[in-house]
Amino acid sequence: MEVKSQIQIPRVKLGSQGLEVSALGFGCVGLSGTFNAPLSHEAGCNIMKEAYNRGITFFDTANIYGDKHDNEIMIGKALKQLPREKIQLATKFGIIVSGHFEIGVKGTPEYVRECCEASLKRLDIEYIDLYYQHRVDSSVPIEDTIGELKKLVEEGKIKYIGLSEASADTIRRAHKVHPITALQMEYSLWTREIEEEIIPLCRELGIGIVAYSPLGLGFFGGKAMVESLPTETFLGSHPRFKRESLEKNKVIYTRLAELAAKHGCTPPQLALAWLLHQGKDIIPIPGTTKVENLDTNVGSVAVQLTTDDLKEICDSVPTDEVAGEREHSALSKYAWKFANTPPKI
């Protein structure tokens, strides 16, 4: 049995600066490829409209998603078909991709402004609701980066400032320059490393947490478990999706599937419901290209779990048994544990 959609998605405060979003967001990266074949702009706009019709108003993109910034361009078209004032749009700057998945980061004030102006133009909008530094530039004092973002807030070009994959020290220093509204981090049943240090810090400072890859890059949605990996994807080279890792991780999926049956829902619904029960300040942003998967994700809002249930679910996915590193090697050196910046002189 599957929990169906047509469910009222609650509205929640994201952080303590006034931003209100749907309790379940929508990650748009997959609409332009990465995990599957890219959708046409018409199809991408349609899935965003379907999400909005189901109560999702919080959409997440970045300037590097898709070939030649395709994702932002597509979302700009979708926004023309939706009530802009009811949408909370997040985009990001800071990652530079060159060559064959060669990754760099940049956080200079000049680059911050250049990226923001370019995103506003591609999206064809007057302001960005939530603007993240996608990865921290460890060569630039965070005060310089946030200082420029603060100016963009004062100019009305962005409303709220976010960080992604930032260390505790970087978060604290950034927050002193201008209040940080949201921190985007990988958080799911098989990636829980932020629970000890980062989540308590965010709650201390009044910063909301946006959980990216809440279904483990689709693993808990059945990717490579009940359906084969798409050929147009980088997942085959991801440490947790390599053949030797998958053989070990199948055990985890099987355990979760058994618990999902017990709760009368699907594995992705149980994985998302577990996240939703971690606190109203944690917003998962699963993405999909299919309406049926969208309905499944929305259905997670209706799954009720007790404290004992949550413990049982956690115990079924011991993080020390997960095979493979959480990030692709190209991004691993920019993970939050390494995201400190030099002192401001």
Number of domains in the chain: 1
Residue 93 included in any domain: yes
What pLDDT was estimated at residue 3? Answer: 41
What pLDDT was estimated at residue 8? Answer: 92
Residue 1 included in any domain: no
Instruction: Note if 65 is an active site residue.
Output: yes
Residue 344 included in any domain: no
What pLDDT was estimated at residue 2? Answer: 41
What pLDDT was estimated at residue 12? Answer: 97
State pLDDT tens for residues 18-39: 999 999 999 999 999 877 789 9
pTM higher than 0.75? yes
What pLDDT was estimated at residue 168? Answer: 98
What pLDDT was estimated at residue 4? Answer: 42
Residue 140 included in any domain: yes
Note whether 232 and 34 are within 8 A (CB).
no
Residues of the chain with pLDDT under 70: 1-6, 99-101, 224-234
Note whether 52 and 89 are within 8 A (CB).
no
Residue 2 included in any domain: no
Residue 121 included in any domain: yes
Catalytic residue of the set 52, 65, 131, 187: 65
Residue 30 included in any domain: yes
Note whether 136 and 104 are within 8 A (CB).
no
Residue 5 included in any domain: no
Note whether 292 and 3 are within 8 A (CB).
no
- Residue 196: which CATH number? 3.20.20.100
State pLDDT tens for residues 65-94: 988 899 999 999 999 999 999 999 999 999
Range of the domain at 246: 11-338
